[in-house]
Amino acid sequence: SQKIEQNSEALNIQEGKTATLTCNYTNYSPAYLQWYRQDPGRGPVFLLLIRENEKEKRKERLKVTFDTTLKQSLFHITASQPADSATYLCALSTSGGSYIPTFGRGTSLIVHP
Amino acid sequence: KAGVTQTPRYLIKTRGQQVTLSCSPISGHRSVSWYQQTPGQGLQFLFEYFSETQRNKGNFPGRFSGRQFSNSRSEMNVSTLELGDSALYLCASSRTSAQETQYFGPGTRLLVL
């Protein structure tokens, strides 16, 4: 069966360090993958999209990699700040279907000052 | 540009009742999708509407229904509420399709007693 896995344990890091979050998937043929940020009591906010033929995407302090061989995406936040504390969701859209994204359950990131 | 708005923000109902939630998409966006988010299942796709027609549907029972009006505003209805329907219901809009980047509203928190 299809699965998207994100680490359910919160990631605790110190301010200024690089946070790395992981999204693993099985039995998907992804067309593209998206990362969203969600704060408590709010809807997800789109951050980055990476397509299956792209290895890496960057936006300011954010970087996403996509390895379709390993079936994994890594999401990096460099020079992390306490304001980056939130839950981060990955979402996969598959080719050959409706492309409706399937979301992982998210990983909570806590950046300590 | 105003973001996606959802009303009401909070709702308490009892089992067996029905509920209607409303969503106003970003101006110019014609695709509206609905999601249910719970701690146990994460974010799950309910359905997508475009030009007043349901274009895609997730794996939810028929008690969950929706509609879209000519101004792209959308409503979703849940009949015969069950305790397990307690969740955050999120609406997301995009220009033409849920395949594109989606912009989420703040959600409606529904509690079924």
B41-59 pLDDT, tens digit per residue, is 889 999 999 999 999 899 9
Give B1: exposed, middle or buried? Use CB within 10 Å, 0-12, 13-18, 19+: exposed
Q: Which of B4, B34, B43, B56 should we substitute to test contact with A (largest number of A Cβ atoms within 10 Å)? A: B43
Amino acid at A53: N
**B74 band by pLDDT with thresholds 50, 70 and 90:** very high
- Please tell me the predicted confidence (pLDDT) of residue A96: 65
Whether residue A3 has pLDDT greater than 90: no
A23-74 pLDDT, tens digit per residue, is 999 888 888 899 999 999 899 999 999 998 999 999 999 999 999 899 999 9
Average pLDDT, rounded, for chain A? 92
- Please tell me the predicted confidence (pLDDT) of residue A73: 95
- Please tell me the predicted confidence (pLDDT) of residue B97: 77
- Please tell me the predicted confidence (pLDDT) of residue A2: 74
In whole angstroms, what is the distance from residue B54 CA to residue A90 CA? 25
Residue B78 CA: distances (Å) to CA of A25, B38, B63 = 31, 16, 5
Q: In this predicted structure, which of A26-30, A62-66, A94-98, B84-88 has the lowest mean pLDDT? A: A94-98
- Residue B60 forms contact with A (CB below 8 Å): no
Verify cis geometry, omega within 30 degrees of 0, for the bond prior to B8.
yes
Q: Cβ–Cβ of B106/A93 closer than 8 Å?
A: no
A62-91 pLDDT, tens digit per residue, is 999 999 899 999 999 999 999 999 999 999
Q: Record the tokens describing residue B79, joined without a space.
A: 């009949």
Residue carrying the six token digits 């849940």: B78
Q: Record the tokens describing residue A16, joined without a space.
A: 């200024």
Q: Cβ–Cβ of A45/B101 closer than 8 Å?
A: no
- Please tell me the predicted confidence (pLDDT) of residue B8: 97
Q: Cβ–Cβ of B42/A44 closer than 8 Å?
A: no
In whole angstroms, what is the distance from residue A34 CA to residue A51 CA? 9
